[in-house]
Copies of this chain bind each other. A is one copy, B any other.
């Protein structure tokens, strides 16, 4: 006999859960469509060279690699047994998609992707090896209308799912660099500084200082002092601008300021705030970065940023790009924990018929069912089983709110 369970870290979706997930996807998609995003899709499988192009950071360690086939496998050298892999995100495939189809795409392309990705990660609560990502990306737009569009659309999608009290934290990679420069950290340790800064929420300012001191002796006090001044100010962005002086280009700070001002004026279910401790892991970000947090929840429900260099590295032509990804699996988990009523009633009729039917009976039954289906009702025909009470119980559990029994004499009886 075979193992009945799904592949480790992956899931079967039963009807009710599938319906719920599909409804959530529909709400997200229809919201994004209102903002001019169009769905596209790429194959689940990409060439291994693309997947291992150093754009995916640590995710590249988690690739499911596919063995070469037939003669190719026989001729393969050791260590080059695989030619394909499952995508670990939707951004790297999007860059290839853009390169492949650029001639047919508008100069500014607003893409929506809702698809599975695969990572051979350590499975844990709310984290799976096959999971859905919902990404919107704007390619070809260098101005901050891209960020404003992405943030506004994402918050609206979450609003349509019933989420209020959303905070979008925003910063800019170039501002982080300015801080690191201002505090005199060598370029080589910038990333390490950012990783420590990223942990502030978890480890507290004291341990941030200790860890910084370890990698850059003598420089932790100035760094932490500056952080404290920014964090405890009434206008964190202005304080950061004042602290950083010439290290921060005015175009970077003005850009951030405008995004924050305009989005806060537009959205109605939360706020957009500058957060000096925001880092975001992905190495490909070049400008703005942002992350969603939901009221009272210590988790990120999505994030994104600007990655103006990445498409160029893959496609050969430099194209400004900016994206926002919703943490779909977390959103679904939160919604189901809240008992959110998404998808509504099933509104279905079950028609229980005799174990044996004559042609005439069958035809009458089918005519009845077809008629009601045409009128919009879901009608499921089932054979009566011996344990009728059990059958009724199962039908009700499946969401059939109307149950009729077709008797052998042609009578149709409603079962209460």
Question: Hey, which bits of chain A sit against chain B, CB under 8 A?
Answer: 1-7, 10-15, 18-19, 22, 33-36, 38-47, 49-50, 53, 64-67, 69, 81-82, 84, 86, 96-97, 99-101, 104-108, 110, 116, 118, 120, 129-130, 141, 143, 145, 148-149, 152, 156, 258, 261-262, 265-266, 314-316, 348, 350, 353, 355-357, 359, 362-363, 366-367, 370, 373, 376-383, 385, 390-391, 394-395, 397-398
Each complex incorporates copies of this chain amounting to 2
Cα of A262 to Cα of B359 in the assembled complex, Å: 6
Contact indicator B40/A18 (Cβ below 8 Å): yes
Interface of A is mostly: mixed
The 9 A-B residue pairs with the shortest CB-CB distance, nearest first, are A36-B380, A15-B38, A10-B43, A4-B99, A34-B373, A266-B366, A262-B362, A4-B100, A13-B41
Contact indicator A7/B45 (Cβ below 8 Å): yes
Contact indicator B15/A261 (Cβ below 8 Å): no
Contact indicator A15/B39 (Cβ below 8 Å): yes
Partner of A143, one of B6, B64, B383: B383
Cα of A149 to Cα of B110 in the assembled complex, Å: 42
Cα of A14 to Cα of B42 in the assembled complex, Å: 9
Contact indicator B67/A67 (Cβ below 8 Å): yes
**List of B residues within 8 angstroms of A363 by Cβ:** 261-262, 265-266
Chain B residue nearest to A37 in the complex (CB): B380
Known: A266-B366, A383-B145, A395-B106. A378 touches B15 (CB 8 A): no
Chain B residue nearest to A363 in the complex (CB): B265
Q: List 30 A-B contacts (CB under 8 A).
A: A2-B47, A3-B47, A5-B100, A6-B42, A6-B43, A11-B43, A12-B41, A12-B42, A12-B43, A14-B40, A15-B39, A18-B39, A34-B378, A35-B373, A35-B379, A35-B380, A36-B379, A36-B380, A45-B64, A66-B67, A66-B86, A81-B81, A106-B394, A108-B383, A141-B383, A143-B356, A145-B357, A148-B366, A152-B366, A261-B359
